[in-house]
Amino acid sequence: MKRILLLAAFCSFAALSLASTALGQEVLGQEVQQDLLIQDSGNETTVNLAGIYSSGYLGVAETVKFTPPRPSWTLDEVQILGWDGYEENGTLPEEQIISMEIRDENLDLLYRFTDSQLPYFTFIGQPGIGVIEVPSLAISGDFYVCFYDRGAVDVGIDRTDAEGNSYFFDMQTKELFLAEVGMAGSEELVPVNWIIRAVGH
């Protein structure tokens, strides 16, 4: 069942706002320049228009298409704005299983991750950035990050300048559908960007 909760603001969006597309990481004493790939607006002001959404379906993924900045590029992690509904009452949400896939430009599977949502999306009272590490996956050509929330996690959406790089992916049919969601008080579907980002070098 589709559900959406619009938020007035995300107080911790400063942690999400990564205006630079290059990050530094030290590996074996050497600085490795990392690239942050963003397909949402990346604009901190859009947080007032943002919300969170869950498909709730086992075989349907919130999916974002990325293009590496160079022909030889390695994916190191995926960042997802999300929340499992944890409030400050001290009771953890029910543990559920989430999954993430990396697929190539032909939607063939390159990598699959499955785990509980608790270590990644249990933030007190509001969404935060869940970081899922990927074991240095060499990428050539466009690729897709597919996140199966399975009703356990609400995923961040950005309604500003939806570029057509966010989709729903049906695991059974291997079909992509443009990401459009319903908004409170309206029967129309609105195109959105998923706030899902890729980091690599």
Evaluate if residue 48 carries a pLDDT over 70: no
Q: Determine the 3-state secondary structure of 16 from DSSP.
A: helix
Question: Residue 23: its pLDDT value, please?
Answer: 54
Q: Which residues contact 101 (CB under 8 A, 6 or more apart)?
A: 61, 109, 110, 111, 112, 113, 144, 145, 146, 148
With residue 117 as reference, give the H or E element that holds it: none
Evaluate if residue 196 carries a pLDDT over 50: yes
**Average pLDDT of the residues in 75-100:** 91
Q: Which two tokens stand for residue 39?
A: 């397909």
Evaluate if residue 45 carries a pLDDT over 50: no
**Average pLDDT of the residues in 122-130:** 90
Q: Give the CA distances from residue 133 to residues 102, 120, 145, 158, 162, in Å, rounded to whole numbers and listed in that order.
A: 12, 11, 13, 23, 26
Average pLDDT of the chain is: 82
Question: Residue 6: its pLDDT value, please?
Answer: 34
**Average pLDDT of the residues in 40-54:** 62
Question: Which residue from 19, 33, 30 is spatially nearest to 70, judged by alpha carbons?
Answer: 33
**CATH, range 7-200:** 2.60.120
Q: Give the burial class of 47: count Cβ atoms within 10 A of its Cβ; 0-12 exposed, 13-18 middle, 19 or more buried.
A: buried
pTM over 0.95: no
Question: Residue 30: its pLDDT value, please?
Answer: 60
Q: Write out pLDDT tens, residues 90-113.
A: 788 999 999 999 999 999 999 999
Torsion-angle region of 41 (φ positive above 0: left; ψ -120 to 50: alpha; else: beta): alpha
Most confident range (mean pLDDT) of 40-54, 76-90, 125-139 is 125-139
With residue 148 as reference, give the H or E element that holds it: strand 143-148
Between residues 89 and 189, which one has the greater pLDDT? Answer: 189
With residue 114 as reference, give the H or E element that holds it: strand 109-116
CA dist 156 and 148 (Å) reads: 13
Are the beta carbons of 156 and 46 closer than 8 angstroms? no
Q: Which two tokens stand for residue 99?
A: 């999954």
Query: How would residue 169 be classed by pLDDT, with cut points 50, 70 and 90?
Result: very high
Question: Residue 49: its pLDDT value, please?
Answer: 42
Question: What share of the chain in percent tops pLDDT 70?
Answer: 80
Question: Residue 24: its pLDDT value, please?
Answer: 55
